[in-house]
Amino acid sequence: MNGGVAAVAASVASAQSTVKPRAGRLKQGICSGVLGRGVDLEQRCKVADELGVTGHDLVPLKDMPILKKYGLLPTMVPGIGTLMHNSTDLSRHDDLEKQAIEVIQVAAAAKAPNVILLSGNKWGQSIERCLDNNEKFVRRIIKRAEDAGVTLCFELLNSKINHPDYVCDHTSYGVEMCKRIGSPRFKLLFDIYHMQIMEGDIIRTIEQNIQYIGHFHTAGIPGRYEFDLQTNELNYFPIAKKIADLGYQGWISHEYSPRPGGADPVKTLDAMLKICEG
């Protein structure tokens, strides 16, 4: 661990968590966009603390002490490669492994449950070749994650609208990876917004694959705004209830952006949290 990463790890490990969790059967977190543009991390943490949110996803390593100041866990730690350029490319594996070692160490020090993994794009390769390359990389780092007590979460994203050529764009691809790796420390980040675009049939898909899911993201469709019943094609009430009924113990984190010209973003977040209490 280099000096800068070690300093972050020490700072995070020494901070105290005091947040009082929100009522409900599901633990909830947020991502950076839920209060709109121009709201910094400290402001988001204050609101999250007040609303009983217990986690914040995708915060840079250097900012983790701010989360701990407000009693929030870094529930999904970033820092391994990029969305497009990742482990589908064998030439990147050595560098990605170095990044992964540091990220896993910091996540463990922060008592963060999860580290995000992205598949990368196909870049003209077959699905089978992409699976093989992703598997080769994960096998290089899975023992470190297991020893650290950190779960690697492979994110499912849509390739139809937002991320053309991204290879892990169906639940079946992610599940195949889980079966190949065969570790309780390798699971899926099931993004409901993305999988509604690619597959639909959300509740049944979750029910059939809950053993492979380590984390959830939410957003409304269309537009990736809040998921109110008036504008969204999905009803998150029964989705959240099903997730809770299945005994899921991880986090469901909100990754939507407030609708332009809509209600107060804090009141909107409170309403979305209410929908997902399970």
140 burial (CB, 10 Å; 0-12 / 13-18 / 19+) is: middle
Q: Are 189 and 76 in contact (CB under 8 A)?
A: yes
Name the amino acid, one letter, at 158: N
Tens digits of pLDDT across the chain (278 residues): 554 444 444 444 444 446 678 899 999 999 999 999 889 999 999 999 999 999 999 999 899 999 999 999 999 999 999 999 999 999 999 999 999 999 999 999 999 999 999 999 999 999 999 999 999 999 999 999 999 999 999 999 999 999 999 999 999 999 999 999 999 999 999 999 999 999 999 999 999 999 999 999 999 999 999 999 899 999 999 999 999 999 999 999 999 999 999 899 999 999 999 999 99
β-pairing verdict for 55-57 and 27-30: parallel
Q: Please tell me the predicted confidence (pLDDT) of residue 5.
A: 44
Q: Please tell me the predicted confidence (pLDDT) of residue 21.
A: 87
Task: List, in order of start, the domains of the chain with CATH numbers.
Answer: 3-14+23-275 (3.20.20.150)
Nearest to 80 by CA among 107, 40, 42, 54: 107
For the full predicted model, state whether its pTM sits above 0.85: yes
Token pair in block for residue 188: 């899926």
Q: Please tell me the predicted confidence (pLDDT) of residue 192.
A: 98
